[in-house]
Amino acid sequence: MKYAFLTVFAAGLLVACGATEPVTTPAKNEYTQLPLTANALTMPQWQALERFPARYPEQEVMAANTGCATVEYVIKPDNTVTSIRVVESSSRYFAKEAEQVVTKWKWSALPTGILDKPVKTQTRFEFCLEDGSGQCRLEKLASKTGCSGSDIIASVGMRVSRG
């Protein structure tokens, strides 16, 4: 009798566990099919957006490294950004800083009604150490091919020598 009770209890437990809510898979990003609008932020309606460069990562400054990161993101009609992702980068440190700075731009200060539907765009961040030669001028950085994108923001550090 004891074993019969345990068998019935175990069977009931298995049935009860099987009756739990179904496991749902996370919803796909609703903006994956949204086409990319190249150079969206270079258009006149975005001129009021305060965009500033990404912070030059300390690890890369100490190693005297230059590089780039291209970040893709979606601007929603309520002047918020979502679906921020690094498309390509020459360093994980450059990628992290570029990804973070997009959220810090002054999106909420923009006038309402700029968009009637979401827009997906990209920004390329070039990280350059200036040594006085003018190598970090935007026109020189634009010709670099390490990362894609023509909406470029330069993060310029100063090359200093020790001793």
pTM of the full predicted structure?
0.78
Distance separating alpha carbons of residues 43 and 78, to the nearest angstrom: 18
Is residue 139 a part of any domain in this protein? yes
Contacts of 61 (CB under 8 A, 6+ apart): 129, 157
**145 pLDDT tier (thresholds 50, 70, 90):** confident
Is residue 140 a part of any domain in this protein? yes
Is residue 19 a part of any domain in this protein? no
Range of the domain at 64: 27-158
Is residue 124 a part of any domain in this protein? yes
**140 pLDDT tier (thresholds 50, 70, 90):** confident
Residue pair 130/156 in contact (Cβ under 8 Å)? The answer is yes
Calculate what percentage of the chain has a pLDDT beyond 90: 55
> Beta strand pairing status for 152-158 and 119-130?
parallel
Is residue 56 a part of any domain in this protein? yes
**163 pLDDT tier (thresholds 50, 70, 90):** low
- Give the domain CATH number at 116: 3.30.2420.10
Mean pLDDT on 35-45: 91
Q: Quick one: pLDDT at residue 87?
A: 96
Characterize 80-110 residue by residue with b for buried, 16 or more Cβ atoms within 10 angstroms of its Cβ, and e for exposed. eeebeebbbbbbebbbbbbbebbeebebeeb
User: For the chain, how many structural domains are there in total?
Assistant: 1
Is residue 163 a part of any domain in this protein? no
Is residue 5 a part of any domain in this protein? no
Distance separating alpha carbons of residues 3 and 24, to the nearest angstrom: 37
- What does the pLDDT look like over 83-134, one tens digit per residue? 999 999 999 999 999 999 999 999 999 998 899 999 999 999 999 998 888 8
Please give the DSSP secondary-structure letter assigned to residue 50: -
Greatest Cα-to-Cα distance within the chain, rounded to the nearest angstrom: 91
- What does the pLDDT look like over 59-89, one tens digit per residue? 999 999 999 999 999 999 999 999 999 999 9
Q: Quick one: pLDDT at residue 162?
A: 61
Is residue 17 a part of any domain in this protein? no
Q: Quick one: pLDDT at residue 124?
A: 97
Mean pLDDT on 19-23: 37
